[in-house]
Amino acid sequence: MLRISGKYIPFEAQELGRMMHYATPLDYDKWMQANSFRFKLFNAGHIPGSSLILLECNGKRILYTGDFNDLDTALLTGASLLEEELDAVIIESTYSQKLRSDRQKIELELIKATENILEENGTICIPAFSVGRSQEIMCILTKYAVDAFCIVDGMARAVNQIITANPESIRDYNLFLDALKKIHSVRNKKDRDRALSKDLPSVIIAPAGMLTGGSVKYYIKKLYDDPRNGLFFVSFQVEGTPGYKILKTGQFQYKKKFVDIEAQIKHFELSSHADRTGLLELLKNIQGTPKVFCMHGDNDSCTIFAQETIENLGLDAVAPSVGDTFKI
């Protein structure tokens, strides 16, 4: 973040160094004591290492979900759903008003579309988040034995090394190792040129997932004007990002003007967030009558979900505004 957005963030390299000096690596399912409170981390299923946090202080028990996904994916095991008595739950609401399609069905649709492009000697560019989504796409391509020259570029390569050193962070380490053998990690311009060769059907996985930066911009500029190629989005695109613009208009900014993309544009929603069913299931599993705080959602998803929690589960729920304070 310092390199990408340094002047827009409230810390510098000195603060980052101090934080790293005092950081302590933690495991799941182990209580940690910190002054007057203690806490335990649980698998959140969102990205490798993501955590639900159970906090105890002054006799009160609070669950902070952060982002979580309750379903298994090609890369991760779904979140651990707690069956404990709590006083409060702070829960994400990203997809509180959505039901996701069957994940295996989406994977098969992605593979079918990929094979169709490859049969025409085209190249597929897949913008993907460096942490989690790039590795999931690698595992999906390997699981279905896609026959093509596949590469991964950008910061995803460094993340691959971190996951390799932490095999417990993913669901199927052997599948991930197979993916590392099958999918070439870009080392230089020669690797990029090979993947872009019109005579070699290939798949390119490159951050950033919303086209806000990263190596993916280089590939799109090389591939956008050929209808044999494909541009496959595999994650949510935030309004205002270049990826969102492409999905809405079929255009992207190139050499200070907007140009039409001739490549085939597709969107496969491989979400790493729990949907409406998963969010409600987590709340149903919890014991007691905790106060529920609905956070982290677009538009009215937090306020609507809070009202639905009151009506459907009989729990006291609220969608806090910035600056609100509450006593548990």
Fold for domain 103-267? Answer: Rossmann fold (3.40.50)
CB 163 within 8 A of CB 156: no
Write out pLDDT tens, residues 124-174.
Answer: 999 999 999 999 999 999 999 999 999 999 999 999 999 999 999 999 999
Neighbours of 64 (CB within 10 A): 17
CB 140 within 8 A of CB 246: no
Neighbours of 54 (CB within 10 A): 19
Tokens representing residue 307 in the block: 């009202």
Instruction: Tell me the CATH class for 2-99+273-318.
Output: alpha beta
d(CA 21, CA 28): 21
Enter the pTM of the model.
0.92
User: What's the pLDDT score for residue 141?
Assistant: 98
Tokens representing residue 23 in the block: 């950081």
Domains of the chain, by residue range, sit at: 2-99+273-318, 103-267
User: What's the pLDDT score for residue 298?
Assistant: 81
User: What's the pLDDT score for residue 7?
Assistant: 77
Task: Tell me the β-bridge partners of 260.
Answer: 251
Collect the ranges in the chain with pLDDT lower than 70: 6
Same fold, 2-99+273-318 and 103-267: no
User: What's the pLDDT score for residue 99?
Assistant: 92
d(CA 137, CA 133): 6
Cα torsion at 116, 122, 127, 128 (round to 10°)? 60
DSSP for 243-298, please give it. Answer: HHHHHHHSEEEETTEEEE--SEEEE-----S-BHHHHHHHHHHSBS--EEEEES-S
Supply the DSSP symbol for 116: H
Peptide bond between residue 208 and the one before it cis (omega within 30 degrees of 0): yes
Tokens representing residue 175 in the block: 């599948």
- Residue 305 identity (one-letter amino acid): F
Among 71, 54, 83, which residue's Cα sits nearest to residue 287? 83
CA diameter of the chain: 67
